[in-house]
Amino acid sequence: MSDTLQTALQHHLAGRLDEAEAIYQALLQDMPNHPDALHLLGDIANQRGQFESAVKLITQAIAANPSISTYYGTLGRTYKNQRNLSEALACYQQALSLKPDDAIVHNSLGNVFFDQGLVAEAIASYETALSFQPDLAEVHVNMGNALQAEARFDEAVQSYLKALALQPGHIVTYNKLGNVLLSQGKLADAQASYDIALSIAPDIAETHCNLGNVYQGQHKLDEAAASYRKALSLKPDFPEAYNNLGNTLQAQAKLDEAISCFRHALELNPEYVDAYGNLGHALKAQGELDEAINCYRQALTLQPDSAAAHFNLGTALMEQGKLDDAIPCYRTAIAYHPNYVEAHCNLGVALKEQKKYDEALLCYQNALVIAPESVDVLYNLGVMYGLIKQSAIAEKWYRKALEIDPDLVSAHANLAVILRDQGHWDEAQQHRNLAYRKQCIFITRAPHAARTVLMLLDAGKANVPFTRLFPVESNSLIEWMIEYATPDQYLELPPYDLVFNAIGDPDVIHVTTQPVADFLQHCTKPVLNSPEAVARTPRHLMSELFAGIEGLVIPAVWQVKQEGDWFANPDFQFPALARPLASHGGEGVFLVQDAAELAKVPVDRSGSIYLCAYYDYRSADGYFRKY
């Protein structure tokens, strides 16, 4: 190499591109086909982003001397910068045909494969590069990236550690190492990696953002928010930090601030699909379903094959009660992501609401194959088998769900009902206690509710059809199992417009009388179905309560303790109906013709029963009718 070219190259390597360019141009004036000068001038054009000029110059160099592998490598790098990956690939392969042991070119070839989504081929190229030159930190980093893309996380960690051993102060690698550890759920190790990066360079916004992700995963929301805000103070045009801060604020129930963050992220990057999804979630949480749906649709415009966006859209439509529109969304999500357990489950919910029980059950069975340990799947299988009256199978699935999540309130509550119906009263009570001592307030929000109704309930939900009285389409409901209320829990209730006492069975109100009375002392809202009125309506007082109403027949009813010769009361009228206290729908009812048959009626667990004089009210056609 001539002294002149050597001087130019020194300027070039030192970043003094103008000085280097002037010397290369002077050389070319004397020797227009000087291959090194053409090649290096093309490299400067590539560095400046003047790709067409770079391609022209390097191609001229290759024409002047086609035997130099470096020229093909530089041309490949130029094509890669142009995103012309096929041409880049051809250049690197030509370079390797001339110099097969060039580790740098094998690495560059791997990068092209990686960008093309050919991860296995990329890994093979990196392995070849390292076989020739094992101390190239950059190749170890690239190998880590490829291994992480294939979910080979432990191997990716080892690659990043090898890179850091060779290049201990490389901030980007510490961040990459932290990211893969974070994806493995190794939060403490990820935090250590980010902390090292910050000790080297404390003002890198990306590292603060990554540290915020660790805090978010640790549910340290204040610390997470502080890290994201620090990142934004260092880099105000950082859409990812705004998006992540929005997620933290939403988790803190600061929905207005979260929405503002998501909107900032979208102002900075209008094609940020995740930010549209997160903005939709926040708007949905505010009850703004139409706006949320617009966000999900916008996400799908940008990324039509996003299973998550189809799922989110389906969920919002289902909350609007648009099941026919929601179901295709879930089916599309599953088509793009067949193992999407949540989509299978939500599709099951929608089909269940349409009373398509066989199809719904199939959805949960498909989900079970994918996630046999999913509590949500196991619980919903219990629900479905309960709906099709296969209570023994329902019980099995509830118990499996509770093996995995012993605190699942809904499974305890539903299992308690099954056990009660089987006559396993004590175990049923145990599960009721486990359910409602953990959670006794349940909220159902209607998107366009005319009012919010506080429903006072006992743990059995009695027999009052309150969803008929207050349809969920137009009423938000707060169901309060007041039997399990703590003394000051009324202070924690969400705002409501009126109270409905749904504890309508006077045979069971003894367990709720005091907590209801305590609450009503503080209640300033209208109360429907007052407890005092309910207390006047046990079955054995009906004839007195309705006496004198013309055309109304009220048979005599006795409340009887089942002790001694309880069945031999001469006042009893036969035939008669014997039934347990607090029973409904004909459960446990016996028709008896005389005292001898009455004596055979099983002793109820309460120790008392009702005996009602039988009144045959069949119509002329032989049918009984209940209105």
What pLDDT is attached to residue 245? 98
pLDDT band at 252 (very low <50, low <70, confident <90, very high): very high
Query: Rounded CA gap, 437 and 420, in Å?
Result: 18
Residue 258 C-beta-side C-alpha neighbours within 13 Å: 24
Go through 13-35 and write b for each residue having 16 or more CB atoms within 10 A of its CB, e for each that does not: eeeeeeebbebbeebbeeeeebb
Residue 442 in this model has a pLDDT that exceeds 80: yes
pLDDT for 136 equals: 95
Please state the rounded mean pLDDT for residues 393-416.
96
Q: Which residue has the higher pLDDT, 161 or 321?
A: 161
Q: Which segments of 375-461 does DSSP mark as H helices, in order?
A: 375-387, 391-404, 409-421, 425-436
- How high is the pLDDT of residue 463? 60
pLDDT for residue 553 is more than 90: no
Mean pLDDT value of segment 489-513: 90
- Reported as a pLDDT band with limits 50, 70 and 90, residue 232 is very high
Span 597-606, average pLDDT:
89
Give the tokens for residue 546. Answer: 């309705």
> In the chain, pLDDT over 90 holds for what percent of residues?
74
pLDDT, tens only, 50-107: 999 888 988 998 998 999 999 989 889 999 998 999 999 999 999 999 999 999 999 9
Contact 289, 319 (CB under 8 A): yes
Q: What is the average pLDDT across 484-488?
A: 92
Q: What is the pLDDT of residues 90-106, one digit of tens each?
A: 999 999 999 999 999 99
Cα separation, 484 vs 602, whole angstroms? 31
Nearest to 149, CA basis, from 180, 188, 174, 173? 180
pLDDT surpassing 60 at residue 212: yes
> In this predicted structure, what is the pLDDT of residue 596?
93
Confidence of residue 473 (pLDDT cuts 50, 70, 90): confident
Give every CB contact of residue 15 below 8 A, 6+ residues apart in sequence.
none
Two tokens, residue 624: 């009984």
Q: In this structure, how many other beta carbons lie within 10 angstroms of the beta carbon of residue 365?
A: 14
Tokens of 477: 């409901």
pLDDT at 462: 54
Whether the pTM exceeds 0.95: the reply is no
455 DSSP 8-state letter? E
Q: 3-state DSSP call for residue 152?
A: coil
Residue scoring higher pLDDT (496 or 505): 496
Cβ distance 367 to 348 under 8 Å? yes
Q: Is the predicted pLDDT of residue 1 greater than 60, yes or no? A: no
Q: How confident is the model at residue 461 (pLDDT cuts 50, 70, 90)?
A: low
Q: Is the pLDDT of residue 190 over 90?
A: yes
**Closest C-alpha to 557, from 596, 506, 510:** 506
Confidence of residue 346 (pLDDT cuts 50, 70, 90): very high
Per-residue pLDDT band for 588 (boundaries 50, 70, 90) equals confident
Give the confidence band of 625 by pLDDT, cuts at 50, 70, 90: confident
CA 333/CA 350 separation, integer angstroms: 14
**Given pLDDT bands bounded at 50, 70 and 90, which one contains residue 317?**
very high
Secondary structure, 3-state, 524-578: CCCEECCHHHHHCCCHHHHHHHCCCCCCCCCCCEEEEECCCCHHHCCCCCCCEEE
